[in-house]
Structure 1
Amino acid sequence: MSRPDPAAPAPRERRLHPMSWLFVLLQQLRQFIVPLLALLLFGRGDRNELWSLIGVGALALASLWQYFTYRYTVGEDGLAIRSGLLERSLRVIPFARIHNVALQQNLLHRLFGVAEVRLESAGGARPEAEMRVLKLADALALEALVRRHATAAAEGAAATPAAPLLRLDLGEVLRLGLVSNRGMIVVGAGVAALSQTNPELLPRLIGSFGRRLLGYLDVHRFGPLEYALGGAGLLLLAVALLRLFSVALALLQYHGFRLSEHGRRLTVERGLLARWRTSASRRRIQAWTLREGVLHRVLRRRSLEVDTAVVDRHGGDRGLRELAPIAPPHACDALIEHLLPQARWNALPWRPLPAASGWRLFLPALPVTALVAALAGWRFGAWGLLALAWLPWAAYQARRQAARLAYALNDALIAVREGWWSRHWRFAELDKLQALQLVRGPLDRRCGTATLWLDTAGRGAMAPPLRIRFLPLAEARALYAELSRTLARRPLRW
């Protein structure tokens, strides 16, 4: 172990960017923007608006205070961050503890040539450090420094030059917008926010639209066929508008997407107006998800996502999640083979599960279809019973899903394959498994089956569970015992 040279100069303390107080202030001003605009536009305000101005002044002083009291020092083995004047704090963050470095730039950041830096650790509910904001060159240098220390610690060598693994051109980004549901998610979030800020507005709008629609329908006296055609037309229009909105969001969020490899670290860059850049060590990846929805299959595309040890409990894009938002199947397979060469992804020994379990996948469709048919029959009479025509399709879909159920296990990886209409593959390295659980519900006890749950350090909010369902009891116990012995022999890597 090398000792510090007493003659070497001490690392100098550094400040944030001189305009950092402005970005902190703008971020805190969101809740005050409406009364402030009202006061500026109309020239007068009530007591609440006066208090809002006082709050704005206090926030401005707090932002300036943070700039003048925030210092950070880059040492040989980590960062030291000082903050506060009356109540001072010193936080030392070793480079070995930093698992993810995220750089974010909105449009204003890009105009000023600055970036917001977040340093993440495994399982942390909050970042180890948030630097708002640094010069872009300083932010990139800090990211490179963390990457270089992580690479040297893991491999005993200097970091290798960045190697691009995947790029998305404009056509791929447009395909991503078509297959994603981001438009529906954003609209749903907007409706939820509107209902919280003004609970009366949304019911009033829905009630007004409903009264006009019912009045129009009563005047024209449409029959059941016209009702069906009109409803289908409105549904198609809504789907088309949401897909166009999803395409616009995909262009904003994923334009210029680039996945690159720096030694043992993966880095993702993306964004049109706002740029987002994050990096994480490959060994922090806990589990993988390969998806193939209906539109994916039409366009012959898949998506590849990962769960990392960095947990985001507040939502957002803190950790590395999407390695391939959309790509051809062979590109996804090549990416898995490159990052997990020991897993032999293309030669996994898949073991099918009993196809007779299809009726259990069909069971949830029965009460839902019966309820919809009852409501439709009450409103439209005998025509409403046509909803029962969904049952044969649900039975066929459940049968096909059961035929595709399978799992695979080798000396490095365990994988589960599920779905038919919309498919996914969920897999993890054996060295990343933390816990096993064998569960038997009432139907399992009657059918002589069990479900094996496998737990890792991190799981994405939208990721399917890593589980093997409908295993025959003897096979489930044998698999549980085999994995237990394997986990007992191997150290946990995360």
Structure 2
Amino acid sequence: MTDARATPPPAEQRLHPWSWLFVLLQQLRQFVVPLLVLLFAGRRGDAGDFAEWAPLVGVGVLVMVAVLQYFTYRYRIGDDGISIRSGLLQRTQREIPFARIHNVALHQTLLHRIFGVAEVRLEAAGGQKPEAQMRVLGLAQALALERRVRHRGTAAAAGGGAEAASPAGDTLLALSTAEVVRLGLVSNRGMIVFAAAFGLLWQAFPERAAADWLQGFFREAMGYAGTLHLGWIGMAAAATATVGVFLALLRLLSVALALSQYHGFRLSEQRRRLTVERGLFARLRTSVPPRRIQAWFLQETLLHRWLGRRSLRIDTATGGREDDPRKLRELAPIAPPEACDRLIAHLLTEAAWPPPRWTPVPRRCWWRLFAGGVPWNLLLTTALAWNFGPWGLLALLWLPWSAYAAWRQAGRLGYAMDARLVAVRGGWWSRWWRLAEIDKLQALRLRRSPLDRWLGTASLWLDTAGAGAMSPPLCIRFLPQAQARALYAQLGRMLAARRLRW
């Protein structure tokens, strides 16, 4: 007989009723160029009435596809995982265990926030695509799904309301508006946006027209400066002021972008998961278990040091593109050095950070850091001398500074290792630290170039899952061969005696 008290299976759920609109907008962004080509080509050509109506037909097809996706997409949240069913003619059913989901990302654009919905991405280790991407769920529904994944099915899914809107958690780091402004001042986001806009304009207009416009603007500016009779000192001062204004505008743009992306930044921890929330107009909420962190990266540029700050980034064993803004990569976009150290020590409870002692790399390796840039400097000097005559030889003045910088960098190269952690440091003008738990190391590589074989040196590369995208890599360079082989053998024995955790 069937037990009447048996728990019925959970019911299937649909996406939010407005999900078809967001799917349509996503598709329109992908097909906007072909639709515009059809629109303008149809007006100029002799294709008849069909060319005039082709863009509307294309939009109608996209609307039908978006609506069909809403009606054919179903998901069910069980005790151990999520079941997703989709498709009309070609039907697909996926079973995603909670234990396989490593990262949950909730993304809200300004339009999402107006409609009270969110896009949800469920990511696993490896792969370039998320395990599931739900466009879109109601915000309370999305937060309930995130909590269920966080608890891995051990607790019932909570309902909506105020509890769903603000799940409890211990705050590890929160950035004030002043800190976000500092982040904008030390970042180069403004230059990246300017370069992207310049490249877009260069592609949008004919190359000859863009070049003629730039040349005409330069001639007019020089002609106007000539009418002022400033002399070479005045011209130099005007050029310096122009560059200063341009750099100040770029910094203001960087600050505006930082406020847009990191306003309200909050890093919290709850039930062994780290969660980051940030964004002014578009809100992003993403979470990952600390055990999925494969490597750590501390950075301190010259501007960071002037402001008494550092940044802390991580590599995680989750799929997706490295440039995906919805991937959790920054635990502390900007924070005081002691706050970054406390955060690492809190999450790596059995490791000693900062290390009590660093083993230096022989400083005589400085010339190898210097030699890498010499050919490029000579090539640039030759090109400048060819175009500007003897004045181009001034580029050679970079060589003494480059040699001094390489000597200072070699003085900071070093590594530290204990029973739990291996760390590498380097840099001078811009300082950095790379570290990883020994249990997260997947492979060791001992590399020797022809120059290494001649000099009796070697470099030890340490590979972890999901790492390698950041620069600089986790690598101990320019060690004497005997020291490198001894370190390689020691780490090899430690890895053989341990189980890989990722």
TM-score (norm 1): 0.90
8 Å contact 1:151–1:263 — kept in the other structure? no
Secondary structure of 1:268's match?
strand
Aligned to 1:471: 479
Partner Cα separation in structure 2 for residue 94 and residue 188 of structure 1:
43
The answer to whether residue 215 in structure 2 is matched with residue 210 in structure 1 is yes
Q: 2:69 aligns with which of 66, 71, 75?
A: 66
The Cα shift of 1:321 comes to 0.4
The Cα shift of 1:28 comes to 0.9
Say which is worse superposed, 215-224 or 417-426, in terms of deviation.
215-224
Partner Cα separation in structure 2 for residue 190 and residue 211 of structure 1:
20
Q: 2:399 aligns with which of 391, 406, 419?
A: 391
The answer to whether residue 103 in structure 2 is matched with residue 100 in structure 1 is yes
The Cα shift of 1:44 comes to 7.1
8 Å contact 2:78–2:153 — kept in the other structure? no
* 1:373-428 superposed Cα distances (whole Å, 9 cap, x missing partner): 33333444333322222222111111100000000010001100010000110010
Unpaired stretches in structure 1, ≥5 consecutive residues = 153-159
Aligned to 2:179: 172
Once the two structures are superposed, the pairs formed by residues 390-469 of structure 1 within 5 Å of their partners are 390-459=398-467, 461-469=469-477
8 Å contact 2:408–2:428 — kept in the other structure? yes
Partner Cα separation in structure 2 for residue 482 and residue 150 of structure 1:
41
Aligned to 2:313: 305
The Cα shift of 1:19 comes to 0.6
8 Å contact 1:289–1:463 — kept in the other structure? no
Q: Aligned in 2, Cα 1:203/1:115: closer, same or farther, shift over 3 Å?
A: farther
8 Å contact 1:151–1:264 — kept in the other structure? no
Aligned to 1:142: 145
The Cα shift of 1:48 comes to 5.1
Code of the aligned partner of 2:218: L
Partner Cα separation in structure 2 for residue 148 and residue 76 of structure 1:
11
* 1:177-209 superposed Cα distances (whole Å, 9 cap, x missing partner): 11111122223333444555x3x4355223321
* 1:449-487 superposed Cα distances (whole Å, 9 cap, x missing partner): 111111000126444211011101100000000011111
Partner Cα separation in structure 1 for residue 81 and residue 320 of structure 2:
23
Partner Cα separation in structure 2 for residue 358 and residue 389 of structure 1:
19
8 Å contact 2:79–2:154 — kept in the other structure? no
Code of the aligned partner of 1:443: L
8 Å contact 1:117–1:134 — kept in the other structure? yes
Aligned to 1:27: 26
Say which is worse superposed, 127-136 or 306-315, in terms of deviation.
306-315
Partner Cα separation in structure 1 for residue 206 and residue 457 of structure 2:
51
Aligned to 1:183: 190
Q: 2:128 aligns with which of 125, 129, 138?
A: 125
Q: Aligned in 2, Cα 1:181/1:84: closer, same or farther, shift over 3 Å?
A: same
The answer to whether residue 267 in structure 2 is matched with residue 259 in structure 1 is yes
8 Å contact 2:361–2:479 — kept in the other structure? yes
8 Å contact 1:32–1:56 — kept in the other structure? no
Aligned to 2:164: none
The Cα shift of 1:30 comes to 1.8
Code of the aligned partner of 2:500: L
Partner Cα separation in structure 1 for residue 241 and residue 220 of structure 2:
19
Q: 1:340 aligns with which of 341, 348, 366?
A: 348
Once the two structures are superposed, the pairs formed by residues 213-252 of structure 1 within 5 Å of their partners are 213-214=218-219, 217=222, 220=226, 232-252=240-260
8 Å contact 1:291–1:304 — kept in the other structure? yes
Secondary structure of 1:474's match?
helix
Q: Aligned in 2, Cα 1:270/1:417: closer, same or farther, shift over 3 Å?
A: same
* 1:133-189 superposed Cα distances (whole Å, 9 cap, x missing partner): 00000000000000011889xxxxxxx951000000000000001111112222333
Code of the aligned partner of 2:176: D
Aligned to 2:381: 373
Q: Aligned in 2, Cα 1:166/1:45: closer, same or farther, shift over 3 Å?
A: farther
Code of the aligned partner of 2:250: L
Partner Cα separation in structure 2 for residue 164 and residue 356 of structure 1:
45
The Cα shift of 1:244 comes to 1.4
Code of the aligned partner of 1:322: E
8 Å contact 1:194–1:202 — kept in the other structure? no
8 Å contact 1:348–1:409 — kept in the other structure? no
TM-score (norm 2): 0.89
The Cα shift of 1:236 comes to 3.1
CA RMSD of aligned residues (A): 2.7
The answer to whether residue 117 in structure 2 is matched with residue 110 in structure 1 is no
Aligned to 1:485: 493
Partner Cα separation in structure 1 for residue 431 and residue 467 of structure 2:
19
The answer to whether residue 297 in structure 2 is matched with residue 289 in structure 1 is yes
How many aligned positions are there?
Answer: 481
Q: Percent identity?
A: 60
Partner Cα separation in structure 2 for residue 271 and residue 202 of structure 1:
37
Q: Aligned in 2, Cα 1:488/1:39: closer, same or farther, shift over 3 Å?
A: closer
Partner Cα separation in structure 2 for residue 281 and residue 5 of structure 1:
39
Partner Cα separation in structure 1 for residue 116 and residue 79 of structure 2:
27
Partner Cα separation in structure 1 for residue 493 and residue 138 of structure 2:
51
Partner Cα separation in structure 1 for residue 368 and residue 312 of structure 2:
29
Aligned to 1:157: none
Partner Cα separation in structure 2 for residue 314 and residue 410 of structure 1:
30
Partner Cα separation in structure 2 for residue 374 and residue 79 of structure 1:
63
Q: Aligned in 2, Cα 1:35/1:285: closer, same or farther, shift over 3 Å?
A: closer
Q: Aligned in 2, Cα 1:178/1:491: closer, same or farther, shift over 3 Å?
A: same
Aligned to 1:156: none
The Cα shift of 1:441 comes to 1.1
The Cα shift of 1:235 comes to 3.6
